[in-house]
Structure 1
Amino acid sequence: MKQKRVIVGLSGGVDSSVAAYLLKEQGYEVIGLFMKNWHDDSVTISNECPWLEDSNDAMLVAQKLNIPFQTVDLSEEYKERIVDYMFHEYEMGRTPNPDVLCNREIKFDVFMKIAMDLGADYVATGHYCRKGVIEKDGTEIYQLLSGKDNNKDQSYFLCQLSQAQLSKTLFPIGELQKSEVRKIAANQDLITAEKRDSQGLCFIGKVRLPEFLQQQLAPKEGVIIEVPEDYSGYQKNIPNFSSEEERLAFLSEKNKYSKQDGTVVGKHQGAHYFTKGQRKGLAVGGTKEPLFVIDTDVSENIIYTGQGKQHPGLYRHGLFVTQEEVHWVRPDLQLQEDETLEVLARIRYRQPLEKATLHQTSTGLYVIFENAQSAITEGQFVAWYLEDELVGSGVIS
């Protein structure tokens, strides 16, 4: 029988190195491919994650494992699909998640197409997640399952994958703990065994976000307003709802602020550089508790803040995803209008899963949490799970 060919995205980190090693051990024909996605080192902090060092490490791993290796330059696609999109989202006052997009648009689209052109049966990555296969009505259905290492589970970053993409993907380290991965790398004498995990933007490394954004979004001075905890807008009377959808909209409604709702406590260089829940970078002292961003208004260029992480302006019970932004990893579980589903959900990576109920309406999907959530942020992804299986996701509107 012909060996199945797997193309591994070798990033120069320990996870993808061990993924390649394990696949080779399992008898696959393995080829290592390094993606070069970024040229501009002027915005990366120190030598945290320069692509040159990473590609060199990836090449040394490939040599050690005795597998073919090449580099592909995807910087044009990355700029178009990720960086330009990020600038646009920040400009609109939303906060995108480049890692989720990078997986959907680059690793499992552009990169996957290159791999298939090279005759691959599968692509593999060093993600901490697992793939399951079940049969339903005579059809094979692929499951995206969380990684066994609860502390490293990366299923959230893959929340936009499709059945077609999952069918062609392998996650060799999903059953392992990070400590086991490092041990395997050390035993195989791989150069990446002790290498620190990369931080920051997918492929770009640690970036000074304001400087990165300033390349396209000009600084613009505005005011920082502190909204008190006893702001009258927080004392909402619950009305009598004429429909279920009205109730869901009420629970998901964000607070609207104006200048009169608080006091000016400082200045900033552009509301589009800030995001909800942010604490650093405000440079306002003299408050009893630290200030957190509770909202940004990019049209008026105002940042609204509140003291302390329990400030009522940070919390909401629900969120809405427009119909075109709803994505089911498991299309067979898709809700029809007026249907509901009890799930576990998270609105950011590493957040513990929270109990929630999905409500499908004619215009989109409401996600209503049992407990109020802090800093629900437009542009970020909400992902929902049934036990340890990620079944769908959407962009918070």
Structure 2
Amino acid sequence: MRVLAAMSGGVDSAVAAARAVDAGHDVVGVHMALSKSRAEHRSGSRGCCSVEDGYDARRAADKLGIPYYVWDLSDDFEDTVVADFLSEYSAGRTPNPCVRCNEHVKFAALLERGLSMGFDAVCTGHYADLRDVEDGSGVRHELHRAANHPKDQSYVLAVMGKQVLGNVLFPLGDVPTKDEVRIEAAARGLGVSLKPDSYDICFIADGDTRGFLRQRLGENPGEIVDESGAVVGEHLGAFAYTIGQRRGLGLGIPAKDGLPRFVTKVDIETNRVHVGPVEALDVRRIIGADTVWLAPDIDPAEPLRAGVQVRAHGREIAATVRLEDDRLVMDLDEPLRGLAAGQSAVVYSGSRVLGQATVEETA
């Protein structure tokens, strides 16, 4: 196959590209330039897709002996991922930009461009497992958790959609530990073998999400109120708060019982942030919109027992799941604490990803 290897400049994507070469594919490396600021630099292990990352990706491609290109996808990234991030926070929701990047950039813009140029698949360094299953109607592509459970990224990949699964490769899906990836990179002479992992939001390299939101959205002072409606503090913008938040509230009046208080509601219409006891964060039902169902052999309209995960590395909770009027309803066996609208809820059956939806309501 002709394979387009997305090379971020990190060790995972470099080893994934190397494995694609070993598998006999005709591989071309491409680095996605996502930042609108060409002078942006990585800060320690924060951020990704920086100038330094582009240099590291080029050196890795040279070592592997494959062609290498830089594609400017910054407009796509700004118009989809960053715009969605700002729009969701403006609406009092908490988005996951990595999910949106996979949906709109890595497995939409990149794949679409690659297919139009005659490539058969996109290869990335994500930790996830793709399996081809024979059934009566042919081959079914399934997305599963990676062998490396602590690094598993199937949660942020579920949004891809079943139509994409036949055109992607995840060569690291069977690697049990990150240490083994680094050892393999060193053995191949790849200079990124000891490079630290990137984390946090890539377009907020200093990690100051609240500062980024205030810079882009401005200030809009308002009140912080407790469960009785009493004013207990002030804020500079309700959009900078998220459900379950405890730190950075700056409350001027302590709770009567002396216990910590958490953000329980962000009301954009009244510009108020509501706080309350930790018990107020418990939810037993999740209703998700924009459902992406990856399992054509399973009818989501029929209630099924499954596991639900709502954070990238959160634990899975048993639930009864069903699709009602294009919305995914998930009734949890036990309460879940601190879930905000805008986050992703992913449905699993064992290691297999069945579907995904964006949290719209909780109860």
Same fold (TM > 0.5) = yes
Q: Which residue of 1 aligns with 2:104?
A: 105
SS state at 2:79 partner: helix
In structure 2, C-alpha distance between the alignment counterparts of 1:363 and 1:24, rounded to whole Å: 41
1:221 offset after TM fit, Å?
1.2
Partner of 1:255: none
| 2:47–2:202 Cα contact (<8 Å) kept | no
- Distance, in Å, in 2 between the alignment partners of 1:108 and 1:362 is 27
Give a deviation string over 1:264-288, Cα, whole Å, max 9, x none.
Answer: 2221111111111122322337664
1:122-133 equivalences in 2 (<5 Å):
122-133=121-132
Instruction: Report the Cα offset of residue 368 of structure 1.
Output: 0.5
Question: Partner residue of 2:217?
Answer: 217
Q: Which deviates further from its counterpart, 176-185 or 298-307?
A: 298-307
Matched, 1:389 2:352: yes
Q: Which of 265, 271, 275 in structure 2 is aligned with 1:295?
A: 265
**Does the CA contact (< 8 Å) of 1:144 and 1:390 recur in 2?**
yes
Residue-by-residue CA offset, 1:52-92 (whole Å, 9 max, x unaligned): 01101101111111111010000111111111122111111
> Identity percentage over the alignment?
32
Instruction: Indicate the SS of the match to 1:319.
Output: strand
Partner SS for 1:355: strand
Structure-2 separation of matches of 1:335 and 1:220: 42
CA contact (8 A) 1:132 1:144 kept: yes
Aligned partner of 2:22 in structure 1 is 25
Partner SS, residue 277 of structure 1: coil
Q: Gaps spanning 5+ residues in structure 2: where?
A: none
TM-score (normalizing by structure 2): 0.92
Cα 1:205–1:141, aligned 2, differ >3 Å: closer, same or farther? Answer: farther
> In 1, distance between residues paired with 2:14 and 2:248?
36
Among 10, 14, 23, the residue aligned to 1:13: 10
Larger Rg: 1
Does the 8 Å contact 2:291/2:326 carry over to 1? no
Matched, 1:35 2:41: no
1:173-220, Cα deviation, whole Å (9 max, x unpaired): 011121111111122221211111111225664542122222431211
| Aligned positions, number | 354
- Please report the TM-score for the alignment, with normalisation by the length of structure 1: 0.84
Preserved CA contact (<8 Å) 2:41 2:52? no
Unaligned runs of 5+ in 1: 228-260
- CA distance in 2 between counterparts of 1:204 and 1:382 reads 24
Query: What is the alpha-carbon distance in structure 2 between the residues aligned to residue 195 and residue 284 of structure 1?
Result: 40
> Aligned with 1:164: secondary structure?
coil
Range with greater deviation from structure 2 (50-59 or 285-294) = 285-294
Give the conservation status (yes or no) of the 8 Å contact 1:86–1:96: yes
Q: 1:316 aligns with which of 262, 283, 306?
A: 283
Partner residue, 2:89? 90
Q: Which amino acid aligns with 1:319?
A: I
